[in-house]
C-alpha cells in the first residue's frame, strides 16, 4: 500500500465516446497503480457490471482496485478495498464488514486526518486541493497548506486530490505530496497513458531533486 504514486479515478462524463475499461487500461499502461470505481449515477446492476470488468482488468495488470462507497459491490467482486467520505459509514463499522481489505478515507482538515489515522485507515485522501467540478457535492478547496500539514504530521500514506492538473501539480509536490490522484486530467485526456507518464515524471523528478 505504501508504494503507490498515481491514483486514477473513473469519470465517464469526461470521455463520453470512449469505453470505461479501455480508458482505465490506458491509465494503467501509463503507470497508474491504483484504480478507483466512483460512480454516483448508475443503478446497482450496471455498477456491478463495471466493477466486475475493472476487477478483471486490475487483476490482469496486478494493480490495486478500490470501490468508492459501495461496500456490497466491493465485497461481491472481491475488490482490494473501499474508499469512504466523511458522511459515509464510519471506519469502525466499515472494518467489521471488509476485514483486512484496504480502507481509504477522504479528509478535508487535519483533525479528520488525525482521526482517520487513529482509527486505522490504510490511507487518506487530502483535498480537494484546488477547485474541482468532478463531484457535485465537493467541499471548498483546502489549498496546498493542508497538504503541507498532513505531510508534516500524518504517518499513513496520503494522496493529494482535487483539481490537480499537470500545470499545477508541481505546487502540490512541493508541499510534500508524494502520491497524486487525478480524475478529469487523466480520463479526459486525448492521451491517457501519456498524461499518466507525465504525472509520474514530475513525481520522480521531485524525488531525484531531493
For residue 42, give the C-alpha cell: 448508475
Q: What is the C-alpha to C-alpha distance for residues 62 and 33, in angstroms, rounded to an integer?
A: 8
Q: What is the C-alpha to C-alpha distance for residues 190 and 144, in angstroms, rounded to an integer?
A: 28
Q: What is the C-alpha to C-alpha distance for residues 158 and 180, in angstroms, rounded to an integer?
A: 9
Identify the active-site residue in 18, 95, 114, 135. Answer: 135
Catalytic, 114? Answer no
Q: What is the C-alpha to C-alpha distance for residues 151 and 115, in angstroms, rounded to an integer?
A: 15
E strand residue ranges, 119-157: 123-126
Identify the active-site residue in 55, 101, 106, 189. Answer: 106
Catalytic, 106? Answer yes
For residue 90, give the C-alpha cell: 464510519
Catalytic, 55? Answer no
Size of the chain in residues? 210
Q: How far is CA 205 from CA 64, 71, 150, 169, 197, in A?
A: 24, 37, 21, 12, 12
User: Do 156 and 123 form a contact (C-beta atoms < 8 A)?
Assistant: yes
Q: What is the C-alpha to C-alpha distance for residues 157 and 191, in angstroms, rounded to an integer?
A: 28
Q: What is the C-alpha to C-alpha distance for residues 197 and 27, in angstroms, rounded to an integer?
A: 9
Q: Which residues are catalytic?
A: 38, 106, 135
Amino acid at each position: 500500500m505504501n508504494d503507490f504514486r498515481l491514483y486514477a479515478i473513473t469519470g465517464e462524463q469526461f470521455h463520453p465516446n470512449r469505453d470505461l475499461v479501455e480508458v482505465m487500461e490506458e491509465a494503467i499502461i501509463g503507470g497508474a497503480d491504483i484504480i478507483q470505481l466512483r460512480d454516483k449515477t448508475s443503478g446497482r446492476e450496471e455498477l456491478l457490471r463495471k466493477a466486475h470488468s475493472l476487477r478483471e482488468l486490475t487483476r490482469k495488470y496486478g494493480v490495486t482496485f478500490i470501490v468508492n462507497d459501495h461496500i456490497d459491490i466491493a465485497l461481491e467482486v472481491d475488490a482490494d478495498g473501499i474508499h469512504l467520505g466523511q458522511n459515509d459509514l464510519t471506519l469502525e463499522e466499515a472494518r467489521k464488514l471488509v476485514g483486512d481489505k484496504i480502507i481509504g478515507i477522504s479528509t478535508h482538515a487535519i483533525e479528520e486526518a488525525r482521526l482517520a489515522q487513529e482509527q486505522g485507515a490504510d490511507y487518506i485522501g487530502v483535498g480537494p486541493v484546488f477547485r474541482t467540478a468532478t463531484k457535485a457535492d465537493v467541499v471548498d478547496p483546502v489549498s496546498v497548506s493542508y497538504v503541507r500539514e498532513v505531510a508534516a504530521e500524518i504517518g499513513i500514506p496520503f494522496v493529494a486530490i482535487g483539481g490537480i492538473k499537470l500545470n499545477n501539480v508541481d505546487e502540490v509536490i512541493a508541499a510534500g505530496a508524494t502520491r497524486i490522484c487525478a480524475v478529469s486530467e487523466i480520463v479526459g485526456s486525448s492521451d491517457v497513458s501519456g498524461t499518466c507518464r507525465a504525472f509520474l515524471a514530475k513525481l520522480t523528478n521531485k524525488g531525484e531533486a531531493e
